[in-house]
Structure 1
Amino acid sequence: MQLQSLQTQQSSFKRILLNTAWLLGGKGFGAVCGIAYLAILTRSLGLKDFGHFSLIFGTALALQGITGVQSWRTVVRYGTSHIHEEAWDRFGRLSMFCGLLDMLGAVAGCLIAFVAIYGFGEALDLNAAYVNEAFWFCCGMVWALVSAPTGVVRALHRFDSAVYVEATVPIGRVIAALLIWHFGATVGDFLLAWVLIDMLEAICYWVMARKLCPQSIKLRHLGEWRQALAENPGLIRFFLFSHVTVTLDAAVRFGPLLAVGGLVGTRAAGLYRLASQITQALGKLSMLLTRVVYAEVARAKVAIDAAEFRKLALRTSLAAAVAGAIVIFIALTAGETLLVWLGGEEFRGGAVILVPLAVAASLELASVAFEPVLHASSRAGQALIARGITLSILVTAILTVKDHGSVGIAWAVAFASGVGYLATAALTYRALHSPGPAAAAADQILT
């Protein structure tokens, strides 16, 4: 039994590496495309207009984080057992119920966008000429964030299929950027192109989910939401904890950019955004690993014992920590060169912002296994506590150093990320080394 458990743990880590390799292949291609369209954006718009684009885009991403329900986590968390048991009707009811949650989140996002754009546009230093465009862009982006079909693809461990779907965004943006650049670039043109491309990706994800699991993705399951709730006890509680956690994460991730726009100005927001884009690109592995690890941990918690479960989490965290160190090294040695190469000389000033943001990105990368472990151990509330601590520290730090401009805000992000990392690590260690739902579930499977 111990040998079987060890083999399962090793195969889990191998699947994490394999699925990450699939995503890296797609994201590697996407990163090349991203560099291309980002360079076109910055050079065709200039620092001031790129700042406006960044604030509008950052607002939309924040709204996606706040109102986008991230239902893929719920599909993976509860759908894994349905797939294991080949209960395709139950998996279908769960998936389509999560699709309904996506739609409710989009409606809420449009309402919040109206208040944010028309009520607080001046506070964000948003040009009045872009207010209407910003509102419709935000509405389109929250509708484009369909999460349930991505959960279906990930629960089925078809990360290879996800690569093809997600390639529509970088390809579409490069083509659109070249056309806009050729015919004369405006902020509105880029906003329209970006939202249409994201909506196309959302449609493609639903098509792919239907293709991979036609026995589950059926419209008739939309009316069976009560049965879905009955078949997945604790779903609403898990969903609410997960949603609030993601909302806090969005505030941590995109709040600093909006703070730079409101406290410092549009040009500073442009510098901050480009530096943030580079560190996000360098730390893209964090998002990829989260997708893979979340699905694999959900599978592993019902297949291996508690000791091997801890080893899987440790191996994943160590691999992610090495990748995080590489992110910091690249930012220190090549950060300024990347900024100038992408945006031109007027973006050179963003180099001092790049380093603290790289530190924050590396910490996020190193903590990639923490939240999936907490969720799989039925401790989603503790992940929420960790996010709340991080946000509280971030707000306090930004208010303390706001007179130091965008550089001070960037270091506030790094400091808050460090505190959040330590808090999440402590909670994860406690979850892994104390008797609880994870150990009980594993022991029940083995006996």
Structure 2
Amino acid sequence: MQTPAAPPQRSGLSNILGNLGWIAGGKGFGAVCSLAYLAVLSQSLGVRGFGHFSLIFGTGQALVAIVGFQTWKTLVRFGAEAVHRADWARFGRLVWLCGLIDAVGVAVGIALAAVIYYSFADALELNPDFVDMAFTFNCVLLVSRLTTATGIVRVLDRFDVATYVEALNPVGRLVAAFVILGIGASVERFLFAWAALELASAIAYWAAAWYLAPHAIRRQHFGNFGQVVRDHPGVLNFFGMTYAGSMLDALFRQGPLLAVGHFLGTSAAGIYRLADQLAQGFGKASQLLSRAVYPEFARARFADGMTGFRRLVLQVTAMAAGAGLVVTMLALAFGSDLLALLGGDDFARGGAVLIPLVAGAAFDLAGATYEPILHSLGHAFYPLVARALAGLALVAAVLQLAGLGAVGIGWAVAIGFACAYLLLSLLVWLTLRRASATA
């Protein structure tokens, strides 16, 4: 088998736009599917049933974030140079280390899931009949959300392949939702279908990674982890930084939902979840942009020099700010009507919750490029500090505003994202200024 060459190089902005086009096309298609299956879920299960489903799924997502080291970021950050030079042995050693760390995270996550569901299910007002099923679902979710394969596909600049693989989940969920609706909707059936689709998507990602990088994923590259540390100075610190960042992301993404379940009950959690899903749908562009720019920033830093890197940063940051404004206007104009359309009358009162959640999503989108910028400049600690301080602001705001109900917790989320955006803006400005002065 012929050794693969390094991916062809293109100009930074065109590469980002190309990546973004593939991601946005896939995610846009997925968003349409998700709106349809969310409507089926919420209307067939009702407020309380959808609340149970949301708390189980949200807890699983929180566990994935808490024990996940975001190994795809490490592969992109430290593997980009090896891929650029077609050094597949060096890249392969890094892949195996990331895979091993992923596996350790899964083991820890399963242990945490057992503690949560068999000791604290009452705190979430979870139906006792759902405990065993919820634990099993969370175990499947942990295994399915390993990100090493995702990192391989992204660092090789094959966002087209990623788009096709990631389309499996929303399409499968849409088909499964209508099948379940026809045979009889229940929380158990939806969870089983979602778990099966997560596993199928994970298998497809690993198959794609093996197809794209067969010379990297070889047994002969496994085990020499000391060499990985020598090849990539700072890789262990980066693992630690991304792990802490993943935990803080869980605080922002899933913490408010669990707080609603704890303070206000299962039905309120269902209403909040649908509003939050819609707000995150409007704000998905932040994740799309971050995924598209991360590999390119990692390459541009050593391939284009500081001048080219700074120009690319300014272009993409301006694009993110404009997108944040557009998303906010669209969400405020059509969000409440869409929420009522999706969930029906029982969920219509979630429109008031949607406003602060959209505001938070807009801040998240406007700052979507900041973390990749700081990581590419070797300052992974900076976004961690900013998010930690913003997380403290979020927790304080939740405790102060929980008495106002789900709307109060929604405004706490907006405050947290606003604090993160302001702190990251300041850190990026100072870092770029210092880097330009020393270039």
Q: Give the distance between the partners of 1:123 and 1:65, measured in 2 at CA.
A: 21
Question: Structure 2 length as normaliser, TM-score?
Answer: 0.96
CA distance in 1, matches of 2:147, 2:308: 31
Query: Distance in 2 between the 1:35 and 1:423 partners?
Result: 33
Query: Are the counterparts in 2 of residues 100 and 222 from structure 1 also a CA contact under 8 Å?
Result: no
Alpha-carbon deviation of 1:310?
2.1
Post-superposition shift, 1:162? 0.4
Does residue 99 in structure 1 map to residue 99 in structure 2?
yes
Per-residue deviation, residues 224-246 of structure 1 (Å, max 9, x unmatched): 33332232221111111111112
Correspondence for 1:243 = 243
1:70 equivalent to 2:66? Answer no
Mapped partners of 2:32, 2:435: distance in 1: 46
- Alpha-carbon shift at residue 222 of structure 1 (Å): 2.7
Q: Residue 118 of structure 1 corresponds to which residue in structure 2?
A: 118
Indicate if the aligned counterparts of 2:62 and 2:250 stay in contact, CA closer than 8 A: yes
Q: TM-score by structure 1 length?
A: 0.94
* Residues 312-335 of structure 1: per-residue CA shift (max 9 Å, x gap): 112211111111112211222111
Counterpart of 1:223? Answer: 223
Alpha-carbon distance in structure 1 between the residues aligned to 2:31 and 2:269: 22
Rounded to whole Å, the distance in 2 between the matches of 1:435 and 1:413 is 33
SS across alignment from 2:11: helix
Distance 2:318 2:126 in 1: 42
Q: Secondary structure at the match of 1:435?
A: helix
Question: Deviations along 1:338-396, whole A, 9 cap, x unmatched?
Answer: 11111111110000010110011111111011001111111111111011011100000
Matched, 1:347 2:344: no
3-state SS, counterpart of residue 357 of structure 1: helix
Is the CA contact 1:96–1:217 (under 8 Å) kept in the aligned structure 2?
yes
Q: 1:285-364 alignment to 2 at 5 Å? A: 285-364=285-364
CA contact 2:320–2:368 (8 Å) conserved in 1: yes
Residues 389-410 of structure 1 deviation map (CA, whole Å, 9 limit, x = unaligned):
1110000000011110100000
Amino acid at match of 1:302: F
The superposition leaves residues 263-313 of structure 1 with CA deviations (integer Å, 9 ceiling, x where unpaired) of 011111111100111111111111111111111100110122323322211
Q: Which residue in 2 is equivalent to 1:368?
A: 368
User: Is the CA contact (8 Å cut-off) linking 1:55 and 1:261 kept in structure 2?
Assistant: yes
Partner Cα separation in structure 2 for residue 320 and residue 87 of structure 1: 34
Q: Determine if contact 1:52/1:270 at 8 Å carries over to the other structure.
A: yes
Query: 2:182 maps to which residue?
Result: 182
| Equivalent in the alignment of 1:109 | 109
Give the Cα–Cα distance (whole angstroms) in 2 for the partners of residues 99 and 299 of structure 1: 23
* 1:328–1:355 CA contact under 8 A, matched in 2: no
CA distance in 1, matches of 2:222, 2:134: 32
CA contact (8 A) 2:300 2:308 kept: no
- CA 1:305 to 1:223, structure 2 compared with 1: closer, same or farther past 3 Å? closer
CA distance in 1, matches of 2:260, 2:278: 17
- One-letter code aligned to 1:68: G
Contact 1:169-1:198 within 8 A present in 2 as well:
yes
In 2, Cα distance between equivalents of 1:186 and 1:220: 47
Unaligned regions of 5+ residues in structure 2, if any? 1-8
- Which residue does 2:6 correspond to in 1? none
Give, in angstroms, the shift of residue 122 of structure 1: 1.1
Q: Which residue of 2 aligns with 1:38?
A: 38
State the secondary structure of the residue aligned to 1:420: helix
In the alignment, what sits opposite 1:162? 162
The amino acid of 1:77's aligned partner reads R
Match of 1:254 in 2: 254
Alpha-carbon distance in 1 for matches of 2:425, 2:435: 17
1:335 & 1:292 partners in 2: Cα distance?
26
| 1:155 to partner: Cα distance | 0.6
- State the shift of 1:10 in Å: 9.0
Cα offsets for 1:197-227 (capped at 9, x unmatched): 1111111111101111111122332333333
Consecutive aligned runs of 4 or more in structure 1 exceeding 3 Å deviation: none
**Match of residue 213 from structure 1:** 213
Cα deviation digits, residues 397-430 of structure 1 (max 9, x gap): 0001111010000001101111111001111111
**Which residue pairs with 2:272 in the alignment?**
272
1:196 paired with 2:201, answer no
Contact 1:301 1:376 in 2 (8 A): yes
Quote the residue 1:6 is aligned against: none
CA distance, structure 2, for counterparts of residue 375 and residue 408 of structure 1 = 33
Aligned residues: 432
Identity %: 45
User: Is 1:136 equivalent to 2:143 in the alignment?
Assistant: no
Distance 2:337 2:94 in 1: 48
Give 2:5's aligned residue. Answer: none
Matches within 5 A, 1:416-427: 416-427=416-427
